[in-house]
A = this chain, B = another copy of it.
Amino acid sequence: MTQLLGGIEAGGTKFVCAVGDETGAVIARDKFPTTTPEETLQQVYRFFDQYDVAAIGVGSFGPIDIDPQSATYGHITDTPKLAWKNYDFLGALQQHYPQVKFVWTTDVNVAAYGEYLKGAGVGKQNICYITVGTGIGVGYISHGQLYGGRSHPEGGHIMMHRAAGDDFAGVCPYHGDCLEGIAAGPAIEQRNGKKGHEIAPDDPFWQIEAYYLAQACMTYTLTFSPDIIVFGGGVSKQAQLFPMIRAEFAKLMNNYVRVPDLDQYIQHVKLGDDAGIVGSLLVAEDAMK
C-alpha cells in the first residue's frame, strides 16, 4: 500500500493542509484562516487525525528558526503577528504526532521545491521562487536542496534603488521602502488608493512595479545565481507584468552576466496556488527516502 504523506502550508493569512501520495498528488485537503496558534493548530490536528501519515512537510511563514543546533529550532521568531511570536510550532506538531517525521522549512522554500520537481523548474537545479502578495518572500533551491545558511533567505526585505520620480515612502514597519515596503500588495493599495486587481493593466503604475521586481531579479541573479526565477502570489497574477519585468531586467543587467533566454528565466509559477502545498508533500516524500 502507498504510504501517506502530509503537507502544511502555514501562511500568515491562511493554512492549507493536505494528504497525498509520493508523487505529490493531493488526496485530501483543508484550508482555514490563520488565527491564534492554539485555534489554528486544533484545525490542523482535526485534519491530520483522520489519516495515518508517515511524514509531514511544514512550510511556515516566518522568520523561523531552522538551525537544528539552536534552542529555539522549530519556533517562529520575530513575526509582527504577535500571537505567533516565539511560538514553538514544530514542537507542538511533534508533541501531537510523536511517530511522524517532520521536515521544517519556510512557506516559500516549499513552493520553490514544488516548482523544482513539478512546476516551471523541472530539469533545473537552482530555483528562485518569489511570492508577491501580502508580503514578499523568497525561497531557494540550490542544487536540488532547500537552501539555508545561518537562517533562511528573507529576500523580500532588500533595499531598492528607487525608480526615477518615485518617492512613495514605503510601508514596511521595519525598513520603510524595502522591496516589500514598496512593491507588495499593501504598498500597491496604499500608493494607488485601490487594490492591485482593481488597477487597469495599462496603468503606468505597473511600470514602477516591474522596475522593482526586475531589480529584485537582478539582485537574486547576482547573489544566488539561479537557473530560473519563478514568481507566485496574488500580485504576480497581473500577466502584463512579465514582459515588463523581463525588459527592465535586461536594461538593468545590461548583459553583465550571461543568463538564459528571459522568457525561460523569469516565469510565472506553473503550479499556481498549489506550489506550496505540493512542495510540502514532496519534501515529506524526500524525508522518507
- Distance of A229 Cα from B159 Cα, bound (Å): 18
Interface string of A198-241 (1 = CB under 8 A from B): 00000000000000000100111011111100000000000000
CB closest chain-B residue, reference A138: B223
Interface string of A148-186 (1 = CB under 8 A from B): 111111111111111000000000001101000000000
| Any B CB within 8 A of the CB of A255 | yes
- Distance of A161 Cα from B182 Cα, bound (Å): 12
| Any B CB within 8 A of the CB of A27 | no
Task: Decide if B154 touches A218 in the complex (CB within 8 Å).
Answer: no
A152 to chain B, nearest CB (A): 7
CB closest chain-B residue, reference A225: B149
Q: Which of A77, A222, A253, A256 has the most CB of B within 10 A?
A: A222
Interface residues of A in 274-289 (CB under 8 A from B): none
Task: Decide if A160 touches B157 in the complex (CB within 8 Å).
Answer: no
Chain A residues within 8 Å of chain B by Cβ, number: 43
Given the known interface contacts A159-B160, A159-B219, the answer about A225 and B257 at a Cβ–Cβ threshold of 8 Å is: no
| Any B CB within 8 A of the CB of A254 | yes
Given the known interface contacts A149-B227, A155-B222, A252-B175, the answer about A77 and B160 at a Cβ–Cβ threshold of 8 Å is: no
Residues of chain B within 8 A of A223, CB atoms compared: 138, 153, 155, 158, 219-220, 223-224
Task: Decide if A226 touches B150 in the complex (CB within 8 Å).
Answer: yes
Task: Decide if B151 touches A258 in the complex (CB within 8 Å).
Answer: yes
| Any B CB within 8 A of the CB of A126 | yes
Q: Can you list 18 A-B contacts (CB < 8 A)?
A: A63-B256, A63-B257, A63-B258, A77-B258, A78-B255, A126-B150, A138-B223, A150-B225, A153-B224, A154-B222, A154-B225, A155-B222, A158-B219, A158-B222, A158-B223, A159-B161, A161-B177, A219-B219
List 6 tightest A-B contacts by C-beta distance, closest first: A149-B225, A159-B161, A223-B223, A126-B149, A174-B256, A154-B222
